Amino acid sequence: MTFDLEFFNIGYLDTLSYRNSFVHRLDPRIKIIVSLIFILFVVSFPKYEISSLLPFFFYPVFLLTAGNIPLKAIAKKIFFISPFAVFIGIFNPLFDTGTMYTIFGVPVSGGWLSFLSILIKYMLTVSTALLLIAVTSFPGICEGLERLKLPKIFVIQLLFLYRYLFVLLEESLRMMRARDARSFGNRGKEIRTFVRLISVLLIRSIERAEMIFRAMLARGFRGEIKVLRRHTVNAADVLFLMISFTMFYIFRSYHVVNIMGAAFSTVLR
Amino acid sequence: MHMADALLSPAVGGAMWAGSLGTMIYCAKKLREKMDEKMIPLMGILGAFIFAGQMINFTIPITGSSGHIGGGMILTVLLGPYAAFLVISSVLVIQALFFADGGLLALGANIWNMGVYPAFIAYPLIYKFIVGRNSSTKAITIASILSVVIGLQLGAFSVVLETRASGITELPLNTFVLLMQPIHLAIGLIEGFVTAGIVIYVRSLRPDIVENLEGVKTLSTGMSLKKVVIAFGVLAVVTAGALSWFASTRPDGLEWSIEKIYGRPEITGKSDSVKEAAGKLQEKTAILPDYSFSSKGGEEQRPAWPAVDTGTSVSGLLGGGLVLLLVVVFGMGIRAMSKYRART
């Protein structure tokens, strides 16, 4: 049951996000903005680029280590969920067969280079997205989104969604267990049964929403929810933003890898 | 159908973000105009329902493989287009953050592909049109299947266009379309069938709930075809504008398409002497005179590449290994530091 695992993974990332470290304490707005800038820089490289992408691993590794996040938790997700990028990228070696390099006598075609480049870009962007949520609590993200001027109603219902995600997931796990207990092998999974099962889940969800609404009214809800603001931009945030941006800019404009490689080989000589 | 960051260029990703953000702000404004407070918890819960519902799998007829619902159209039928668009967006936000489905830059494209088409094209133009006067079981079935199929086809075609415009894949357009559209036709037929089943079954079990919802989403009835068309015209212009702006500031994607048209990355102009002089200057100042590992150099010299300078590719490999080593050392250093600090 892959979805079971997914579910516990959400819970796991959620617990990670409440740890206390330098990156956890940063203002969510800053983290969202820096991560977006990072991704823009990474995808702005031309399609055959490989070596210049490597220095960018500094940013996810920084989030990972400074945030004290276990490498396994992130690595597993990156390796398991990569169908689309791989599926589209794997065609490059088939269609782009012109030899671009010969490394130690082995010809390397442009297609393989661009495929490798897609994979590296994929690893960089996906790990950054996962690490962003691993070092920022979801309410923190919502606070950041609200203060980045996203529509308030969107942010509020996003908070609601997250709050009840776990409740409803458990509900549907119970229903699945009941279905499995009453059926053998692959039976009980026909579309007819499925439609009824999910309709019941839908009705229960809507009824729950009505109960929640009544409870909210009882507690004085008047169509306005105050989103808690806990973060302020301080010196550490500004420093983090400036340093990361400068680093990204340097990595983008200079071939750090080649410069270092050349320096290293002169030292060897 | 989730796009990934690695397949997008900044220009396309940014333009799609602009389009999706614009639609989100428009929807929020529309909802605020005539808000039923009940809507807020309902939207959140139904978003969570999509996740919970995706956990329940069923056997796909004929193939025998296991599938789950997408749910965009159910949301639209229950909540109306404006609220549904916001809920679909939030589902995608959570998928991007927790499941690594898609990515942060691709989120804009994903919201557009999976939100705009069902909510603002398939629902008002097809579902509403068919179910409008006649809400029999048959009408609901036909309307659901048709609207889901068309919504998914448009979405899949957008994925093809966005990927092509980004210029990352070598897949020829025809092959790509032939790969994407039939798969999503099959998915759409099943999804549409299931959607119809759910709408009909819920209505027969609890007609009061469906009627209540009709009252809550009064907004959607006031939506005319004219407004939809105007809104789309505006959005198209905004998106195109954003696209050209991004394209001019970050020409990487364009460079590629020029290469496709002219057969080489840049149209050779008269500035060659200036370029050469600049190149010579760079040769004198740089530690490594010419980067044969750099992609631009590679592209320009690709047609005639027999003379491979092993020196530079070796230094590229060396440097790459060195940088990766540094990254690891950097990470281990921070780990050790925080452990040390935790002990003291």
Check whether residue B275 and residue B168 sit in a common domain: no
User: Cα distance from B252 to chain A (closest Cα, Å)?
Assistant: 6
Q: ipTM of the predicted structure?
A: 0.87
Chain B environment of A10 (Cβ under 8 Å): 98
Same-domain check for residues B95 and B53: yes
Q: Which range among A246-260, B167-181, B272-286 shows the weakest confidence by mean pLDDT?
A: B272-286
Torsion of the alpha carbons at A132, A136, A140 and A146, rounded to the nearest 10: -10
pLDDT of residue A11: 79
Sign of the Cα torsion A180, A183, A186, A188 reads negative
Across the interface, whether the CB atoms of A257 and B320 are under 8 A apart is answered yes
Q: Are B234 and B338 members of one domain?
A: no
Q: How many domains does chain B have?
A: 3
Residues A163, B293: C-beta atoms closer than 8 Å: no
What is the tens place of the pLDDT at every residue in B319-339? Answer: 777 778 888 888 888 888 877
- The pLDDT value given to residue B305: 41
Q: Which residue has the tokens 């009705």?
A: A203
HSE, side-chain direction, 13 A CA sphere, residue A114: 27
How far is it, in rounded angstroms, from Cα A255 to Cα A51?
8
Which CATH number covers residue B141?
1.10.1760.20
Q: Are the C-beta atoms of residues A259 and A54 closer than 8 Å to each other? A: no
Note whether B265 and B300 are within 8 A (CB). yes
Instruction: Phi first, then psi: give them for residue A99, nearest 5 degrees.
Output: -70, 130
d(C-alpha B292, C-alpha A172), whole Å: 56
Give the domain-ending residue among B221, B247, B273: B247
**Encoding tokens for residue A152?**
């308030």
In sequence order, the 6+-apart residues with CB closer than 8 A to the CB of A242 are none
Return left, alpha or beta for B71; rule: phi > 0 is left, psi -120 to 50 is alpha, else beta: left
How far away is chain A from the Cα of B212, in angstroms, using its nearest Cα? 11
pLDDT in tens, B34-75: 777 788 888 999 999 998 888 888 887 777 677 788 888 999
Instruction: Choose one of B247, B271, B294: the last residue of a domain.
Output: B247
B83 pLDDT more than 70? yes
Handedness of CA A136, A139, A144, A150 (dihedral sign): positive
Give the residue-averaged pLDDT of A93-114: 76
Do B216 and B135 lie in one domain? The reply is yes
Contact list, B55 vs chain A (CB under 8 Å): 3-4, 7, 169, 172-173, 176
- For residue B187, list chain A residues with Cβ-Cβ distance below 8 A: none
B129 and B37 assigned to the same domain: yes
How many angstroms separate the Cα of A226 from the Cα of each of A146, A155, A186, A223?
A: 11, 11, 48, 10
CA–CA distance, A17 with A239 (Å, rounded to integer): 22
Least confident piece of the model among A87-91, A189-193, B225-229, B335-339: B225-229
Domain shared by B163 and B238, yes or no = yes
Nearest to B287 by CA among A174, A104, A259, A78: A259
Q: Which range marks the domain in which residue B281 is found?
A: 251-305
Give the pTM: 0.79
Say if residue B17 is in the same domain as residue B162: yes
Of A62, A94, A104, A19, residue with least CA distance to A244? A62
**What tokens were used for A194?**
């499925």
Mean pLDDT of B133-156: 90
> Do B10 and B145 belong to one domain?
yes
B255 with B235, same domain?
A: no
pLDDT of residue B308: 46
Q: Are residues B106 and B140 in the same domain?
A: yes
What is the Cα B196 distance to its own chain's centre? Answer: 26
What are the counts of helices (DSSP H) followed by strands (DSSP E) for chain B?
14, 2
Q: Read off the pLDDT of residues B255-278 as tens digits, 9 standing for 90 and up.
A: 443 344 444 444 444 444 544 555
Based on the domain organization, do B53 and B159 belong to the same domain?
yes
Q: Are B209 and B260 found together in one domain?
A: no
- Whether A55 and A256 have beta carbons less than 8 Å apart is answered as yes
pLDDT of the residue at A6: 57
